Homo-oligomer: A and B are copies of this chain.
Amino acid sequence: MTHTIGIGVIGMGWMGMVHSRAYRQVADRFADSGIRPRLVICADDVPARVQHAQAALGFSEATTDWHAVLAHPDVEVVNIATPNYLHLEMVRAAAAAGKHIFCEKPVGRSPQETAEIERLARQAGVISFVGFNYRWAPMVQYARQLIDEGRLGKLTHYRGRFFAMYGSNPLGMLTWRYQTEYAGMGVLGDIMSHVIDMAHMLAGPIARVAGHRHTFIRQRPLPILGQGTHFSLGHPDDPTGPVTNEDYASALVQFENGVQGTFESCRAIFGPKCEMSFEVNGTEGALRWNFERMNELELYLPDGTPARDGYTRLLAGPAYGLHGRFIPGDGIGIGYEDLKAIEAYQFLQSIVDGQQAAPSFADALALANVQQAIVRSWESNTWEPVISLRREV
């Protein structure tokens, strides 16, 4: 049975292009699902972007007015890949139009905004999905399976980190990401959201946290026109403006099930390129994964003999998660965008099934609750419990 699903994408920067390619891959990689996404319309303020997206990916229509996406009768799914400060307004409109919604992380600029977004989608009865793409690496899925099967025994430790260099250069321009007004939280909202989401998936809910933050680079060159881009550099004598959110966040973490852990993220660190990694220890085994080698998983599953008493380096292959949808042979890696294709498939399958799958806005809210506890901890200088912000109708 074939399920044609009309897709509208808002925001045709890098991430919007990535999402669009991901939808296009679904019919091919998951042909047996019967899901046939149709790229109906793409929107962006910048005309050149929508023209390129249309030409390169085959959208039927393109617009510079994002409202046109919501109004389009063939659009069943709205995909939001815009800066954070636009998410609430767009979700509100999409929910009102009864569209299913994919929103890039972080969903809201603040936990309160995420709670509002979650409420809007819930009340509208639409399916939601969030771009926590690291979940979908086949080796991560396999890690999750091992944990769920109890292969690691009772979990004891979880360590998650995400270190990136995108803000390491002091000449990196003062884009929206560095400003509370547009981005909300800094690294806690941006890349640490992946850390928390992954921890939720693998180790379960978090009971309490003690957090810390720091801003290493407090002034950055002002972009000349509008927002500049993620990778643009200013000049040493450019006028500067203040960075108003944090470069660095760390936390001590206690999970509800007794697991002890730490989280740490920085966007202004020098050394790691894209070190989104985790380590999990249990009473019978352990594992660790690093996105910089996403096609590997290191697994410790001793059996009491010397021959098994070390970490085994597993190479991605058809035996692990959905890897086989991309490559039939062993030891051949997939790429970052393939995670996005799996993500798109999981979302569309959730729509076909009429069953909300994870990660939904509810999962984003669970994550926001943890962020909120960390933010409170910054003020109180003490441990803070994770409290649900869910807004009931």
Tell me if B320 and A274 are in contact (CB < 8 A): no
- How many Å lie between the Cα of A153 and that of B300 in the bound state? 24
- How many Å lie between the Cα of A201 and that of B291 in the bound state? 31
What is the total number of residues of chain A having a CB less than 8 Å from a CB of chain B?
87
Tell me if B248 and A250 are in contact (CB < 8 A): no
A331 within 8 A of B: yes
Q: Nearest B residue to A153 by beta-carbon distance?
A: B270
Tell me if B314 and A312 are in contact (CB < 8 A): no
* Contact residue among B146, B250, B295 (Cβ-Cβ distance under 8 Å from A262): B250
Tell me if A326 and B330 are in contact (CB < 8 A): no
Tell me if A270 and B252 are in contact (CB < 8 A): no
Tell me if A294 and B333 are in contact (CB < 8 A): yes
A19 within 8 A of B: no
- How many Å lie between the Cα of A316 and that of B47 in the bound state? 31
A299 within 8 A of B: yes
- How many Å lie between the Cα of A89 and that of B57 in the bound state? 35
* Contact residue among B153, B271, B283 (Cβ-Cβ distance under 8 Å from A311): B271
Q: Which secondary structure dominates where chain A touches chain B?
A: mixed
Q: Nearest B residue to A290 by beta-carbon distance?
A: B331
Given that A260-B250, A286-B270, A301-B307 are contacting pairs, would A231 and B328 also be in contact in the complex, using a CB cutoff of 8 Å? yes
Tell me if B307 and A283 are in contact (CB < 8 A): no
A292 within 8 A of B: yes
Q: B residues within 8 A CB of A159?
A: 264
A151 within 8 A of B: yes
A148 within 8 A of B: no
CB under 8 Å from chain B, chain A span 54-73: 55-57
Tell me if A329 and B274 are in contact (CB < 8 A): yes
**Partner-contacting stretch, out of A114-122, A208-216, A342-350, A363-371:** A208-216
**What 7 pairs across the A-B complex have the smallest Cβ distances?**
A273-B331, A335-B335, A271-B286, A274-B331, A28-B56, A306-B319, A334-B335
A-B contact pairs, 11 of them (CB 8 A): A27-B55, A31-B56, A164-B331, A210-B210, A210-B381, A252-B252, A273-B330, A274-B330, A307-B312, A309-B317, A310-B315
**Contacts beyond the supplied A299-B307, A335-B336: 10 A-B pairs with Cβ under 8 Å:** A151-B307, A214-B260, A231-B329, A250-B252, A270-B286, A271-B300, A310-B314, A327-B335, A333-B333, A335-B338
